[in-house]
Amino acid sequence: MNKKILFALIVVGLLAVSAVSAQNSLLSNNNDDSMYQVSLMQAFMHGEYDGVITVGDFKSHGDIGLGTFEGVNGEMIVLDGVVYQAAADGSINVMSDDEKIPFGTITNFDEDAKIDNITAKDFDDLTSKLDNEIAKYGTNNMYIIKIKGDFSKITVRSVEKQEKPYKEFTEVAAVDQKVFNHTEQTGTIVAVYFPDYMNELNMHGWHLHFLSDDKTKGGHVLNLTDFNGSGQVDEIHEFNMILPTDDSFAKMNFTEDMTNKINSVE
């Protein structure tokens, strides 16, 4: 066969494969597919609450995410590059760059798809609809969805700062969790999804934190009522994690299945 003809056939074949791949990829704009995580869920559940990196370092890895602060000092919401604390007294604070983080996830948000209309009667209804949405793209990927809209009611929690010796988080949530019920709110939910096979590195399924538009209310979402809004989807394909370096982490026993404990506090 003439070499020029053979080369032309190869090029045509590659273009055809590229076209099929593009058609099969429902998401269109994967500019930054890296999820950065501080520590792992199993260590956090066991009581590993000492800070690993600073807020300043954490922000260098993204502009949207969630987590907590040293000693489980409230709930973290990262939105538009600002790191907020939903404190146990119900206040919202912008955290300084020298605050430390024991556990958190963050990425640079790239809109890969939109959800134009979302209505949900409660938490389970919302996460079910989010499940249906990501099923279009593949449930073995990681996702962050930025959900904006109006809530008839939203129930959030925060946690009081812990002192050493640290308790396991199931005990903390049972004793030191503060719950707030807010009505007629407009705001944003940062919804992070990890697939089943990543359970115990992080919690599998959805983890939701809320921040009101007026930046006065927020926390870990426990329930909601009558939500109407929209969403922006970021599909993520890369995972990077930094681990604690202290002796307690190095000697921690990770053989226990923490699935039920993780589910009990979510």
Question: What does the pLDDT look like over 185-243, one tens digit per residue?
Answer: 999 999 999 999 999 899 999 999 999 999 999 999 999 999 999 999 999 999 999 99
CB distance 246 to 211 below 8 Å: no
**What is the pLDDT at residue 262?**
79
Nearest to 126 by CA among 157, 153, 87: 153
158-175: b or e for each residue (b if 16 or more CB lie within 10 Å)?
bbbebeeebbebbebbee
- Give the tokens for residue 18: 């590229």
pLDDT digits (tens, 9 = 90+) for 143-156: 999 999 999 999 99
Whether pLDDT at 29 is above 60: no
pTM: 0.87
Token pair listed for 132: 């249906």
**101 touches 69 (CB < 8 A):** yes
Average pLDDT taken over every residue of the chain:
90
**Closest Cα to residue 203, out of 193, 211, 212, 213?**
193
Q: In which band, very low, low, confident or very high, does the pLDDT at 32 lie, cut at 50, 70 and 90? A: low
Q: What is residue 12's predicted lDDT score, i.e. its pLDDT? A: 38
- Give the 3-state secondary structure of residue 135: helix
Q: Name beta bridge partners: 191.
A: 145, 208
* Structural domains of the chain, with CATH: 34-265 (3.30.1330.80)
Buried b (16+ CB within 10 A) or exposed e, 76-110: bbbbeeebbbbbbeeebeebeeebbbbbbbbbbbb
Q: Tell me if residue 9 falls in helix, strand or coil.
A: helix
